[in-house]
Amino acid sequence: MSEPAIQRDIPLKQFTTFKCGGPAKYFAEPSSEEELVSLLEYAKTNDIETFILGLGSNILVSDNGFDGLVIRIGKKLGGIDIEEDAASAVITAGAGAPLSLLGNTAVKLGYEGAEFCCGIPGTVGGAVFMNAGAYGREIKDIAVSVRYIEDGQIRTVNAEECAFGYRTSIFADKEDAVILSLTVRLGQGDPEQIRAYADQLKEKRTSSQPLDVPSAGSTFKRPEGYFAGKLIDDSGLRGFKLDDSGAQVSPKHCGFVVNNGGTASAADILRLIEYVRKTVLEKQGVKIEPEVRMIGKF
């Protein structure tokens, strides 16, 4: 086996939507599954910790970076395959495909159920890992099966075996697994209605979320019986900032912590996140947990 192409000291801020964080000691973006397999073997043999990166739209990378190998699953592992029958389609999307591509492909072909995917800015792999969802639907509602690699073996699990839960899946407990593809089944519908519904969701998102400012989307999970954004708003934190670092509770959507101008460090953002959690607990008596995953040592 030839040695896989690995880069050193690559700044990760360019690969996250929060636009902050330090470098990866080692970084690679495989262009095939074979290359991915050899990267994983290389890391295992050399006892190097790995982190699998999608679009970086749900992570906060420490300013100290990641002291191991970051493997970015990008578009080269993002092919889309469609099998149509009389009334439905089975679509298989590679882990590196943008989730929006899966959604838009279904909308274009007149299949319903994946409209919520159109506006979520991650990869298919990240969406499976997180059981991403919006407007009442989640990956679990459309998933048939997931293909992944673990310990050098390629396996396929059905949707039930994925143990999808609120913003989690079995892959959150499988440290060494890399999701390779997702297969969904969608029924045929009225193309005009499907297009109109997708447009409606897009409009809802654009009007309520700060999409032009770096963030990782909803910073906090929805606590049972509440909405994190409302709790934060009711705590008087709309638009709140601790300092001029750039980290701010979005004035447009209180559930988003944003990084204005991309000037805040990960530490600045984490400080604000902790302040918001503490204040909401004090003022509303509710514990809110980050949805954003922290990577590296803080």
Catalytic residues: 167, 218, 291
**Member of 125, 229, 246, 290 binding ligand FAD (CB under 6 A):** 125
Residue 103 touches ligand FAD, criterion: CB under 6 A: no
**Member of 27, 111, 129, 220 binding ligand FAD (CB under 6 A):** 129
Residue 123 touches ligand FAD, criterion: CB under 6 A: yes
Residue 53 touches ligand FAD, criterion: CB under 6 A: yes
Beta-carbon-side half-sphere exposure of residue 129 (alpha carbons within 13 Å): 30
- In one-letter notation, the amino acid at residue 137 is R
Residue 178 touches ligand FAD, criterion: CB under 6 A: yes
C-alpha span between 144 and 252 (Å, rounded): 36
Residue 132 touches ligand FAD, criterion: CB under 6 A: yes
Residue 252 touches ligand FAD, criterion: CB under 6 A: no
The two structure tokens encoding residue 64: 């100290």
**Total Cβ atoms within 10 A of residue 239:** 12
Q: Name every residue whose Cβ is closer than 8 Å to that of residue 36 and which is 6 or more positions away in sequence.
A: 30, 71, 73, 77, 149, 178
Continuous segment of H or E residues that includes residue 137: strand 137-138
- Tell me the closest approach of the beta carbon of residue 54 to ligand FAD, in angstroms: 2
Residue 254 touches ligand FAD, criterion: CB under 6 A: no
Residue 179 touches ligand FAD, criterion: CB under 6 A: yes
E strands of 164-264, at which residues? 178-188, 247-249, 257-259
Annotate 41-81 with DSSP letters as a single string: HHHHHTT--EEEESS-SSEEE-TT-EEEEEEE--GGG--EE
Here's the x/- map for ligand FAD, 190-229, by CB under 6 A: it reads as -------------------x-x---xxx------------
Summarize as ranges the residues that interact with ligand FAD (CB under 6 A).
17, 51-59, 73, 95, 120-123, 125-127, 129-130, 132-134, 171, 178-179, 209, 211, 215-217, 293
